Copies of this chain bind each other. A is one copy, B any other.
Amino acid sequence: MFKVRVFVSYKESVLNPQAEVIEGAIHRLGYQTISNVKMGKYFDFDVEAISEEEAVEVASKVSDQLLANINMESYHIELMEAK
């Protein structure tokens, strides 16, 4: 069993107004030392697989087909730890 984490975020070319709004709110709270705010979603799940390669392969297929809107978003897969 492998524990996988998929990070999904807007592509660099896509403007993320929500992140800008949050950065503005952070500054209005007085935290001027914070900058370059980005945000995204992440999905954790377990994958029954015989190898790390197979677990990553299944995760990328699911990301392409469901978890990420590949027109606007990119994703990054991390293996957390085998259980």
Give residues in A with beta carbon < 8 Å to B.
7, 22-23, 25-26, 29, 31, 33-49, 58, 61-62, 65-67
Contact = CB atoms under 8 A, between A and B. Distances in A.
Contact of A38 (B36, B40, B44, B61): B44
A32 to B, nearest CB: 8
Contact of A62 (B31, B44, B58, B61): B31
Nearest to A59: B34
A43 B42 CA distance: 10
B37 A45 contact: yes
B33 A47 contact: yes
A66 B25 contact: yes
A34 to B, nearest CB: 5
